[in-house]
Amino acid sequence: MRLIRKAWWVGRRRGLRAVIDLAVPKALHILRIRTIRPYPYSHFEALSAIDPYQPATIPTPRLKWQRSPTMRLRWYMPEPGRGSGGHHTLFRLIRLLQHRGHLSEVAVLHGAHTSKSRDGTRQFVLRHFGTDVPVIWDTDDRSDVDIVLASSWQSAYAIATDVDCALRAYVVQDWEPDFYPRGSEQIMAENSYLLGYTHITAGPWLARRLSERGLPAEYFHLGADQETYHPSDEPHERGRSHVVFYARPNTPRRCFEIGCEALRLLDRQLGRGRLSVSMVGAEIVPFPTRYRTRWLGTVPPRELRRLYASADVVLVLSATNPSLVPLEAALCAAPVVDLRVPSAAGTFEAGVTGLLAPPSATSLAAAMSNLLADPRAAREMGRQARRYALQFTWEAAAATVERHLMEALEHHNRRPLASGTGRHDGDTG
């Protein structure tokens, strides 16, 4: 009965073919009939076909930019998910570039295998990201554009086969090789930076990492939504210190375990019943804590703003590139504690606009304890953080991205064409 219900559900959501794909292996298993397993690494086939060490495997864009003031852009990205900071950045840029007169469409990787239609994805993006943009699948027929843009290491391989453009660009939002242990995926992610594209990074740290490898890169500063995030006189909890912890246990670079240990140590220092923690950012299965915990999951921006404004400390940990969260908390005049790692240099002025602690639970607990012990200094740090964050706007970010893309098109147009091929010498993207 359970299998019948599952088949009915799959049929409604994904069609008859999906039911057959589900039922046949089950039937063969019940009948004890051995099947020949398919090649288990077929998802690497398209990636391995593009080899940065073999330039001939990277098709050359077939178009030449016509110097129009309006750019036509095609953004390749994974399926958008609710609460994704990386998608928020991309869709804000797309929306603001639309306001500046440029046309965009989004090509979703493996879109044909998702549970949504093209129009359903477009409506999802409008509802959750506030941007109305045409959506296609990466396998659809494509119109001519000026630039195709990658937004992740997988999409960097996907755009290599899109020749209906004049230029390829790569918006690098994090150092994705660090997301994996040393192995195939890490190497493939590293190789994505070698495909010859124009690199534009979210912040200076990523640009420096690429430049250190001999790869030119420009950057833009992440912005923050100043209309949504701002200070207010939210009530603070009486008799308790309130910490908002941006907690994402399924995202290793967010160092969830170190953060939990830091909170346990802080609770021990403060004494029983003195600490209250709001866990935000992801749905977490609750576990026992000595301190009072609210498991809030993914909350809308307005509620998040109220939490930041009521917090004595906001704990935001990132072992790689900083996200939007520290700037959003800073706009609410909340004192932020993060890791003292090289990537944080572009987001904080240590000790003035945020407190950076060595990457250990004990050090993080000590940093939060110091802020809680001196509320006046904590409030001043929050005010300084807000003044610092106010200089970073999404309008400025979009203008910077626009300038870098236009300059890249101009530079690309000046290159001589290889005889008889339409190919730019020494350039694949």
User: Domain of 27?
Assistant: 7-39
Would 53 be classed as within a structural domain?
Answer: no
Question: Looking at residue 31, what is its pLDDT?
Answer: 57
> Residue 425: its pLDDT value, please?
38
The predicted model gives 388-405 an average pLDDT of: 95
Say yes or no: 139 and 278 in one domain: no
Distance CA 370, CA 357 (A): 11
Name, in order, each residue with C-beta under 8 angstroms of 203's C-beta and a sequence gap of 6 or more. Answer: 219, 220, 221, 222, 321, 322, 343, 346, 347
Same domain for 124 and 253 = no
d(CA 246, CA 249) in angstroms, rounded, equals 10
Span 268-275, average pLDDT = 93
Indicate whether 236 belongs to any domain: no
Same domain, 336 and 194: no
Q: What is the mean pLDDT of residues 158-186?
A: 95
Region for 32 from its dihedrals, namely left if φ exceeds 0, alpha if ψ lies in -120 to 50, beta otherwise: left
Are 349 and 406 within one domain? no
Q: What is the average pLDDT across 293-303?
A: 92
- Say if strands 147-150 and 72-77 run parallel, antiparallel, or are unpaired: parallel
Residue among 73, 58, 62 at smallest CA distance from 161:
58
In a domain, 351, yes or no: yes
Q: What is the pLDDT of residue 347?
A: 74
Residue 383 lies in a domain: yes
pLDDT confidence of residue 423: 39
Instruction: Please say if the pLDDT value at position 58 is more than 90.
Output: yes
Tell me the CATH number at 261.
3.40.50.2000
DSSP 8-state code for residue 99: H
Taken in order 81, 85, 91, 94, the sign of the CA dihedral is negative
Q: How many CB atoms lie within 10 A of CB 28?
A: 12
> For residue 327, which of 378, 404, 394 has the smallest C-alpha distance?
394
Co-location of 382 and 403 in the same domain: no
Together in a domain, 116 and 202: yes
Instruction: Please tell me whether residue 74 adopts helix, strand or coil conformation.
Output: strand
Q: What is the pLDDT of residue 264?
A: 97
Question: Is residue 362 included in any domain, yes or no?
Answer: yes
Has this prediction a pTM greater than 0.85? Answer: no
- pLDDT-derived band at 6 (thresholds 50, 70, 90) equals low
d(CA 192, CA 205): 18
Q: How confident is the model at residue 115 (pLDDT cuts 50, 70, 90)?
A: confident
Return the pLDDT at 316: 95
Q: Tell me the mean pLDDT in the region 241-256.
A: 94
Whether 166 and 218 map to the same domain: the answer is yes
Domain count, the chain: 3
Please indicate, yes or no, if residue 230 is contained in any of the structural domains.
no
Give me the DSSP letters along 179-225.
GS-TTHHHHHHHHGGGS-PEEEEESHHHHHHHHHTT--EEEE-----
The span from the CA of 370 to the CA of 313, in Å, is: 10
**Residue % of the chain over a pLDDT of 70:** 88
**pLDDT averaged over every residue in the chain:** 89
Q: Is residue 419 very low, low, confident or very high in pLDDT (cuts 50, 70, 90)?
A: very low
pLDDT exceeds 80 at position 11? no
Identify the helix (H) or strand (E) that includes residue 149: strand 147-150
Same domain, 82 and 213: yes
Question: Is residue 52 included in any domain, yes or no?
Answer: no
pLDDT digits (tens, 9 = 90+) for 13-45: 666 666 566 666 666 566 555 556 788 888 888
pLDDT number for residue 83? 74
Based on the domain organization, do 301 and 271 belong to the same domain?
yes
In a domain, 305, yes or no: yes
The answer to whether residues 307 and 213 belong to one domain is no
**Residue 367 sits in the same domain as residue 405:** no
Cα 216 to Cα 207: distance, rounded to the nearest angstrom:
8
Buried b (16+ CB within 10 A) or exposed e, 81-103: eebbbbbbbbbbbbbbbbeeebb
Same domain, 287 and 210: no
Q: What is the pLDDT of residues 334-373, one digit of tens each?
A: 999 999 998 887 677 777 888 999 999 999 999 999 999 9
Share of the chain above pLDDT 90, in %: 72
Report the pLDDT averaged over residues 378-385. Answer: 93
Residue 7 pLDDT grade (very low, low, confident, very high; cuts 50, 70, 90): low
pLDDT at 143: 95
CATH number of the domain within which 111 lies: 3.40.50.11090
Give the model's pLDDT for residue 56: 94
